[in-house]
């Protein structure tokens, strides 16, 4: 017998997402992903000065706050063929890296670990002595002491006794799909609280370089607005740069000894989740952390993979690689926008037209495609591409994670597990290892370049008469982000953002192919349709951000649905 399940809203994500599933014999047979909110930022940008686009565009989201700023300045730079001083690239790259690590830490511990980790079991059943000993066996992390474990467990018990569970309210505690031993649950709970501290530390790097976060203030089309002056305290002094280095070093240990270790351990103990949630085998990522003024060499490679085989890797070589620029399209056949078209972003439009959702159009999210096919963007795509390119830090961290998983559950693992629900967490952790190394490399490069006497941080901008178009790409924490700008006589004529969560949360495409969440939910088990934990696992593995995906509120504040917190 088939049953329909509706989860609306999905919680522990950014924004408003509704998932509808058909369930038969304990498995999902069909799913629909529905973005229930529109914001219209692309429309606001029309007619503005391209130099201020990034300040508006980064308001698309307050989670991936820096990424739209980056993609936006890069789109204008691409349209104008404007070079960016290497100091500015290094400073931007450190912001990109630090933001990504903060985002990865928050996503795993705060937003998704509770899909796998039973907090009530950690509080009430775990032996803190055994848990601390196991944690020390798994990792050299210095904060795995018995005292730390005992204190955290006491704190959790107090929360439960008070009846006010705060962030742990309404979790699926005791759900049959929760499989971890109480001690492993306690390890993750201890690290949950530590994670709050480490995401703050790495976010300080973004704040110091960007002047504030969320929503940095230091970018400029053509570079950055941080003057480098070794004497003035108002600017990037050596003292500040060394403080940033200290913060990056502290977080370095947390990433490998805690985050990567915990993801590997939990992945090892849920092996079946390395086979649920697979996509169509098409992956798209772009290179990140440019190392030269033109954006032609990068610290981290990216590219396109088909048929799930890294032998089919086709690199995307530069910010202006026509292979990327020519092959991205968006369809609105199933989205709440006027018309029924599939267009390239330079000639695309965003004209809202709400339908009740019972017909062909059922979501505010558009459906992007690459070479006329949906593609998975995000950490799996990035990690596969970096391995395909033979990029050594990625090869090393991938090997480390796969071996760690194998050492916990005594199996031999290969990269085939990555495109899956659990594989997205594994890939995000691998990528975090790569990002933190690359970020430290950017710090060295900046110090060396300043040492050679180059203090330049911004190039001048001139807008020629006539029309220019450009794409700004960025490999954001949730995947490939691109901003597409058409400039006419110095003003924005068209602006389109094609965003990671648009690639993933989109509805059916123009040929009827399912969107990525829709595709990956099919086949998921469901032990108890009243408590659809397994659906949350797969949806959360993508780290949805609906503000990014749809970039409005009904101006009359009309109620579309009622909310029940799960
Ligand atoms: Ni609002 Fe985002 C990231 C972008 S969307 S979080 O990362 O771009 O997927
Ligand atoms: Mg868009």
Q: Nearest to residue 262, comparing CAs of 124, 135, 409?
A: 135
In tens, the pLDDT along 501-553 reads: 999 999 999 999 999 999 999 999 999 989 999 999 999 999 999 989 887 43
In tens, the pLDDT along 372-390 reads: 999 999 999 999 999 999 9
Residue 83: predicted pLDDT? 98
Which of 12, 14, 318, 551 is flagged as catalytic?
14
SS3 (DSSP) at 468: strand
Residue predicted with more confidence, 13 or 86: 86
The CA distance from 28 to 514, in Å, is 14
- Average pLDDT of the chain is 94
Residue 330: predicted pLDDT? 97
The CA distance from 542 to 421, in Å, is 8
Task: Give domain limits for the chain.
Answer: 83-288+373-460
- Asked whether residue 566 carries a pLDDT value surpassing 60, the answer given is no
Looking at ligand 1, which atom is closest to the CA of residue 62? 1
Q: For residue 498, report the distance from its CA to the centre of ligand 2, in Å.
A: 5
CATH for 83-288+373-460, options being 1.10.1740.10, 3.40.630.10, 1.10.645.10, 1.10.10.60: 1.10.645.10
The CA distance from 180 to 269, in Å, is 7
Q: Which two tokens stand for residue 8?
A: 């609306």
Those residues whose C-beta lies under 8 Å from the C-beta of residue 527, and which sit 6 or more positions away, are 26, 175, 176, 177, 533, 534
> Residues 110, 331: contact at Cβ < 8 Å?
no
User: Is the CB–ligand 1 distance for residue 545 below 6 Å?
Assistant: yes
Looking at ligand 1, which atom is closest to the CA of residue 502? 9
In tens, the pLDDT along 301-330 reads: 999 999 999 999 999 999 999 999 999 999
The CA distance from 410 to 390, in Å, is 27
Q: Helix count (H) and strand count (E) of the chain?
A: 18, 16
pTM value? Answer: 0.95
Residue 558: predicted pLDDT? 46
Which of 381, 477, 496 has most ligand 1 atoms within 8 Å of its beta carbon, as the pocket-test mutant? 477
Please work out, in degrees rounded to the nearest 5, the angle formed at the alpha carbon of residue 264 by the alpha carbons of 17 and 313: 75
In tens, the pLDDT along 455-471 reads: 999 999 999 999 999 99
DSSP state of 489: T
DSSP state of 510: T
ipTM score assigned to the predicted complex: 0.94
The CA distance from 379 to 98, in Å, is 16
- DSSP states along 207-219: HHHHSSSSS---E
DSSP state of 22: E
- Asked whether residue 31 carries a pLDDT value surpassing 90, the answer given is yes
Which of 12, 92, 478, 551 is flagged as catalytic?
478
Q: Is 501 a catalytic residue?
A: yes
Q: Which ligand is nearest to the CA of 366?
A: 2
Residue 236: predicted pLDDT? 84
Looking at ligand 1, which atom is closest to the CA of residue 479? 7
The CA distance from 38 to 495, in Å, is 16
Strand partners of residue 370: 328, 373
Residue 550: predicted pLDDT? 85
Q: Nearest to residue 283, comparing CAs of 329, 314, 322?
A: 314
């Amino acid at each position: 017998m088939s049953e329909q399940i509706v989860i609306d809203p999905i919680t522990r994500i950014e924004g408003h997402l509704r998932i509808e599933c058909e369930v038969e014999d304990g498995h999902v047979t069909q799913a629909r992903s529905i973005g229930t909110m529109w914001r219209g930022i692309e429309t606001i940008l029309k007619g503005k000065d391209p130099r201020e686009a990034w300040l508006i565009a980064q308001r698309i989201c307050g989670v991936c706050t820096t990424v739209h700023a980056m993609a936006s300045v890069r789109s204008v730079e691409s349209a104008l063929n404007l070079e960016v001083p290497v100091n500015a690239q290094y400073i931007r790259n450190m912001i990109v890296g630090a933001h990504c690590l903060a985002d990865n830490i928050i996503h795993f511990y705060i937003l998704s670990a509770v899909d796998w980790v039973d907090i009530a079991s950690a509080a009430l059943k775990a032996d803190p002595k055994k848990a601390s000993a196991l944690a020390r066996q798994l990792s050299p992390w210095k904060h795995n002491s018995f005292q730390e474990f005992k204190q955290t467990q006491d704190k959790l018990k107090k929360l439960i006794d008070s009846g006010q569970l705060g962030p742990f309210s309404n979790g699926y505690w005791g759900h049959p799909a929760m499989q971890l031993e109480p001690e492993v649950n306690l390890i993750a709970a201890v690290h949950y609280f530590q994670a709050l501290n480490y995401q703050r530390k790495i976010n300080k790097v973004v704040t110091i370089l960007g002047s504030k976060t969320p929503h940095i203030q230091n970018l400029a089309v053509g570079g950055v607005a941080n003057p480098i002056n070794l004497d003035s305290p108002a600017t990037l002094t050596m003292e500040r740069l060394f403080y940033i280095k200290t913060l990056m070093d502290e977080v370095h240990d947390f990433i490998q000894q805690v985050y990567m270790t915990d993801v590997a351990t939990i992945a090892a103990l849920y092996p079946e989740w390395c086979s649920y949630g697979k996509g169509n085998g098409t992956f798209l990522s772009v290179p990140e952390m440019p190392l030269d003024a033109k954006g032609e060499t990068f610290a981290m490679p990216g590219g396109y993979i088909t048929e799930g085989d890294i032998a089919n890797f086709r690199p995307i070589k530069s910010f202006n690689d026509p292979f990327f620029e020519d092959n991205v399209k968006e369809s609105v056949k199933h989205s709440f926008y006027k018309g029924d078209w599939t267009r390239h972003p330079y000639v695309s439009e965003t004209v809202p037209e709400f339908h009740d959702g019972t017909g062909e159009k059922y979501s505010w999210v558009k459906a992007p495609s690459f070479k006329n096919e949906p593609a998975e963007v995000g950490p799996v795509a990035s990690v596969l591409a970096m391995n395909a390119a033979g990029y050594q830090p990625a090869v090393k961290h991938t090997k480390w994670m796969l071996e760690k998983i194998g050492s916990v559950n005594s199996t031999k693992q290969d990269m085939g597990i990555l495109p899956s629900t659990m594989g997205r967490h594994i890939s995000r952790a691998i990528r975090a290892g790569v990002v933190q190394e690359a970020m430290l490399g950017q710090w060295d490069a900046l110090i060396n370049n300043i040492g050679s006497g180059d203090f330049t941080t911004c190039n001048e901008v001139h807008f020629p008469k006539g029309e220019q178009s450009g794409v700004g790409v960025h490999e954001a924490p949730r995947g490939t982000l691109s901003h597409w700008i058409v400039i006419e006589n110095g003003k924005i004529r068209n602006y389109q953002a094609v965003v990671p969560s648009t690639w993933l949360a989109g509805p059916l495409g123009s040929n009827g192919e399912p969107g990525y969440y829709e595709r990956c939910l099919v086949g998921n088990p469901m032990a108890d349709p009243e408590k659809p934990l397994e659906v949350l696992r797969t949806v959360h593995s993508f780290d949805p951000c609906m503000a990014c995906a749809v970039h409005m509120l009904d101006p009359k504040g009309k109620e579309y649905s009622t909310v029940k917190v799960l």
